[in-house]
Chains A and B, each alone.
Chain A
Amino acid sequence: MKRSTFLKAMIATATLAAMPVCAVAQDTIKIGEINHYKRMAAFAGPYKQGIELAIDEVNAAGGVLGKPLEFIFRDDQGEPGEAIKIAEELMTREGAVMLTGTILSNVGLAISSFAGEKGYVYLASEPLADSLVWGAGNKYTFRLRASTYMQAAMLAEAAANTDAKTFATIAPNYAYGKDAVAAFKENLLRLKPDVEFVAEQWPGVFKIDAGAEVQALERAKPDAIYNVTFGPDLAKLVRQGTDRGLFEGRQVFGLLSGEPEYIDPLGDEAPEGWIVTGYPWYDLQDGPGGDFVAAYQARWDDYPRVGSLVGYMTVQSIAAALTKAGSTESDAIQAAFEDLQVATPLGGITFRSIDNQSTAGAYVGTTALRDGKGVMVDWAYKDGADYLPSDEEVSKLRPAD
């Protein structure tokens, strides 16, 4: 009958699920890492490798608080509801001391809300949504990577330095795309009030009709184009745009377009002369940035992506917070994250106590072709701290803790 069948299944689940837990020794500090390993395999893979590299280094140096650090990796299938269930399991049954992970903003927001409600610390490593630390921010959620707003502000600054007067935007039709366009507009209009936005295109994410979008952009005859599309959409846009001559004589600004995750699949068709945010690992030889690239290549026989860097910095940040806290209690870790300073491959970063956002920045440069691959040249690292709104504005954006 239905109940008993159901119960049998339940008991079977519980037994199976309990097995790995018993096998693990209890003398490590466990961090719950939730991600979309399947749904976003191309991004989560390098991220995980970055984490593993950093864990090896931390543990080789004696671990934290005298114990080895251990990450428990779990796949949420990109479903917010699933992620919350896993978060609950990690914290209440697996003995994790805090949570981290996710790439998709909606999953990050779901975990953030859960963490705030339950009083668990959550370090949002990769999700970019501005609301994560502002409109929907809470005391227990910290964010590592430079947000949509920050990266868009960097490009807006570059755009203000060109002669372009009329801009067209193309962004995927969802929260990330909308935030990215709004932040770009806000910053560019502040820096250069006489620019004009002559067209806005909103293809569905991963459903772009590139030929039609290119025609629509061309029709607006803008001086410059701001692109937020990525992944397969970007590939299609670049190919159609190049074929139809959309980019000739126009400056293009591409958010994230210079990240290896997005520019590498384009191969020798990578666009040239775009001003983009990204990660020029191939030019990093010296200093902490170069050391990380060398260590990563030695460990994995592969080159680092942005995800690798973020994964590595996630572990660094968590190790630093635990050391500073001197304890694995949630409130101690939370307090430790406030104004926490971490030395990372990007240089020193600080988790601002005003909004829990780290000051990690991004590289801005111009795309070019080198050996049949898209790369960034003339790049510069932009410190995230310089691209955030003023403290008064941030306080207005963020609900009181």
Chain B
Amino acid sequence: MEFFVAQILTGLANASSLFLVACGLSLIFGVTRIVNFAHGSLYMLGAYIGYSLMQVLPGMIGFWGAILLAGVIVGVIGVAIEMLVLRPVYRAPELFQLVATFGVILVIQDLALIIWGPEDLLGPRAPGLRGVVRIMGEPIPKYDIALLVITPLVAVALWYLITRTRVGVLVRAATQDREMVGALGVNQAWLFTGVFALGSALAGLGGALQLPKGGADLMMDFNILPPLFVVVVVGGMGSLPGAYLAAIIISVLNVFGVAYMPQSTLVLMFVVMIVVLMIRPYGLFGREEVAGEHGQAGEPERPIKPASDKIRLLVTAGIVILALLPLYGSSFAQVLTTDILIFCLFAASLHFLLGLGGMVSFGHAAYYGGGAYVAALLVTHAGSPMELAFILAPLGAGLAALVIGWVCLRLTGVYFAMLTLAFAQLLWSLVFQWGTVTGGDDGLINIWPAEWLKDTTIYFYFALFFAVGGILVMRHVAHSPFGYALRAARDSERQAEATGINTKQVQLLAFGFAGMMGGLAGALFVFSKGSVFPNELEIARSFDALIVVFLGGVKTLSGGVVGAGVFKAIEDVLTRFEYWRLIMGLLIIFVVILAPDGIVGSLRKAARRVGGLKAGGEE
């Protein structure tokens, strides 16, 4: 019993920081509909700034003052981010802003490294709160008790702000219907900025408040993201009580997981998230998303049409030039091009899902890495020949996509995206954990192609054939009746149903097909590298694809491929410089602001304006 109580207290204390950061994220999403991936970075900045302030400000007042001040400063940074980076792109397609926030992550990572250096900083102790108090004989750190008091106070203050003040009324109104709030004469821009500032300040506060329990390090930003999103989604996006309850549930469950199933901690929260979303598709306190609210923001999309003869000629010429690469390029140029081709195919498969299907998957790496793992497992454990493994890999990935898609398609919009993320994480945990079969993080190695394919040039042609072939097949599917049905389901589910299209079935098939193409890319990858590790299933890999698809242009047919090609090539150049993340981040932000329709979309628009090209031309 004593142990039980002590565990619950530990869980509640852990929930403190998580709640502050999560409610900031929830608030921002509720009002601005921005999925702020940079929220972890703001949390990290809070920790670093709080640390620096505590070095300067003395004593107890200095300590608590530093925490508050860290919150305020991060709030101001949030204002800067909102005004400089996000405000120019509110009109862009749905979720486009998340790419901008990803650019912010990269910039903050390098700035933090420049300012605070690479070494981990141990958080200062809270003055007067060193040591423990005994509760029923169990030692509980005094600072935990302080957190147990502070969190409900902050929660109540927020509750008062939201339910009892005019600002709160506006925030709630904007969460429910932001167009209406705008129509009633409220200055939306300032409301958004204000909410972003508040959300950022809460993240900063959370970062500073956890200092005495840990410290500041450069990996904090990514490490907090998974639990953060789980809490926000389980609680219901935009709901503060939901975030509070979810933070407590996740933290307390985690404490019990540590005690009774020590190996389970990697997967536990994702299982919770999946279970909750199965029972309550919009989280504990979330509200159903209004159809059309997402997905089709901005101007309506132009219908796609088959490429003109001129463009076909250009593409053919491009492929021929590419195919002649071994004549004029070095062996490394072929390796680099193979990498880029594989990534283009991967991005194109996500683009198919996102652009044509309107299904935003945050976990597409599951199928890319899944395909790679299917091939590697077959080679390692069944000794199957490379050719067979290569054929079965996309099928395995497609099958996995069908199963996951079947579950996820019960949801829509951001909840759908989050559920795909949860499944990708689950798959990652499985591979990471199941060392005897998958090799854990030591991966599967010596997965080389068959003898006749070993040569770099031959493998280059192999990759070229399958990547270009895969991309062309997807393009062809887009123009087939199936592609039309898919777009109909995306644009208006009800009308599509009325014309006799089984929209869920069409979407499920598309999900499986995109997964299969992702798996094909993964199979090409594993045999080109000779090994596979859980990195290929990570969130970061899903985001890689997501970012290039958005930057290339969601509402164009070739956006995914162009974005992937351009950014993979730029990355190869940039990583040769020391602060390449800073440059890459700024570049992403720059592209986001300058070309809110993506590279292809914006070029097309510009060309149309100039009148040099007919509509549909893409250069």
Measured CB to CB, the residues of A under 8 A from B are 1-7, 9-10, 12-14, 16-17, 20, 37-38, 41-42, 45, 74-75, 77, 79-82, 84-85, 88-89, 92-93, 105-106, 109-110, 112-114, 116-117, 129, 131, 136, 173-175, 178, 200-204, 206-207, 209-213, 215-216, 219, 231-232, 235-236, 239-240, 243-245, 264-267, 269
The answer to whether A215 and B3 have CB atoms under 8 Å apart is yes
Q: Which 10 A-B pairs have the closest CB atoms?
A: A3-B318, A41-B118, A6-B565, A212-B258, A113-B445, A42-B118, A9-B569, A212-B255, A2-B558, A211-B10
The answer to whether A244 and B132 have CB atoms under 8 Å apart is yes
* Inter-chain pairs besides A80-B443, A116-B446, 4 sampled, C-beta below 8 Å: A84-B529, A85-B572, A92-B332, A93-B331
Docked Cα-Cα span, A81 to B372, in Å, equals 12
The answer to whether A109 and B122 have CB atoms under 8 Å apart is no
The answer to whether B536 and A1 have CB atoms under 8 Å apart is no
Instruction: Name the one of A6, A117, A265 contacting B448, with C-beta atoms under 8 angstroms.
Output: A117
A-B contact pairs, 25 of them (CB 8 A): A1-B314, A1-B558, A4-B314, A4-B619, A10-B333, A10-B340, A10-B569, A13-B573, A38-B580, A42-B118, A45-B118, A75-B575, A77-B575, A85-B572, A89-B335, A110-B529, A113-B531, A174-B432, A178-B440, A201-B258, A209-B265, A210-B214, A212-B254, A232-B215, A236-B214
The answer to whether A212 and B11 have CB atoms under 8 Å apart is yes
Interface digits, B324-356 against A, CB 8 Å rule (1 contact, 0 not)? 000001111101110110001000000000000
The answer to whether B265 and A211 have CB atoms under 8 Å apart is no
Q: In this assembly, does B317 line the interface, its C-beta being within 8 Å of a C-beta of chain A? A: yes
Taking the closest CB of chain B, its distance from the CB of A392, in whole angstroms, is 24
Instruction: Name the one of B132, B317, B329 contacting A243, with C-beta atoms under 8 angstroms.
Output: B132
Q: In this assembly, does B618 line the interface, its C-beta being within 8 Å of a C-beta of chain A? A: yes
Interface digits, B138-162 against A, CB 8 Å rule (1 contact, 0 not)? 0101001000000000000000000
Q: In this assembly, does B492 line the interface, its C-beta being within 8 Å of a C-beta of chain A? A: no
For residue B172, which residues in chain A have a CB less than 8 angstroms away from its CB?
A: none
A2, A79, A206 interface centre (most CB from chain B within 10 Å) = A2
For residue B573, which residues in chain A have a CB less than 8 angstroms away from its CB?
A: 12-13, 16-17
The answer to whether B562 and A5 have CB atoms under 8 Å apart is yes
Docked Cα-Cα span, A271 to B319, in Å, equals 63
Q: In this assembly, does B131 line the interface, its C-beta being within 8 Å of a C-beta of chain A? A: yes
For residue B209, which residues in chain A have a CB less than 8 angstroms away from its CB?
A: none
Given known pairs A1-B618, A6-B318, the reply for A113 and B562 (CB within 8 Å) is no
Interface digits, B309-322 against A, CB 8 Å rule (1 contact, 0 not)? 00100110111011
The answer to whether A81 and B265 have CB atoms under 8 Å apart is no
The answer to whether B119 and A219 have CB atoms under 8 Å apart is no
The answer to whether A6 and B576 have CB atoms under 8 Å apart is no
Q: In this assembly, does B525 line the interface, its C-beta being within 8 Å of a C-beta of chain A? A: yes
Q: Count contacts on B: residues with CB < 8 A to the other chain.
A: 89
The answer to whether B440 and A14 have CB atoms under 8 Å apart is no
The answer to whether B441 and A202 have CB atoms under 8 Å apart is no
Measured CB to CB, the residues of B under 8 A from A are 3, 6-7, 10-11, 13-14, 113, 118-122, 130-132, 139, 141, 144, 213-215, 217-219, 223, 254-255, 258-259, 262-263, 265-266, 311, 314-315, 317-319, 321-322, 329-333, 335-337, 339-340, 344, 432-433, 435, 439-443, 445-446, 448, 525, 529-531, 533, 535-536, 558, 561-562, 565-566, 569-570, 572-573, 575-576, 578, 580-581, 599-600, 618-619
Q: Which residue of B lies closest to A78 (CB)?
A: B535
Q: Which residue of A lies closest to B139 (CB)?
A: A244
The answer to whether B562 and A6 have CB atoms under 8 Å apart is yes
For residue A116, which residues in chain B have a CB less than 8 angstroms away from its CB?
A: 446
Instruction: Name the one of A12, A81, A174, A245 contacting B536, with C-beta atoms under 8 angstroms.
Output: A81
Instruction: Name the one of B113, B319, B332, B446 contacting A3, with C-beta atoms under 8 angstroms.
Output: B319
Taking the closest CB of chain A, its distance from the CB of B473, in whole angstroms, is 15
Docked Cα-Cα span, A306 to B274, in Å, equals 43
For residue A45, which residues in chain B have a CB less than 8 angstroms away from its CB?
A: 118
Docked Cα-Cα span, A298 to B250, in Å, equals 51
Instruction: Name the one of A6, A206, A265 contacting B223, with C-beta atoms under 8 angstroms.
Output: A206
The answer to whether B218 and A110 have CB atoms under 8 Å apart is no
Instruction: Name the one of B122, B336, B618, B619 contacting A235, with C-beta atoms under 8 angstroms.
Output: B122
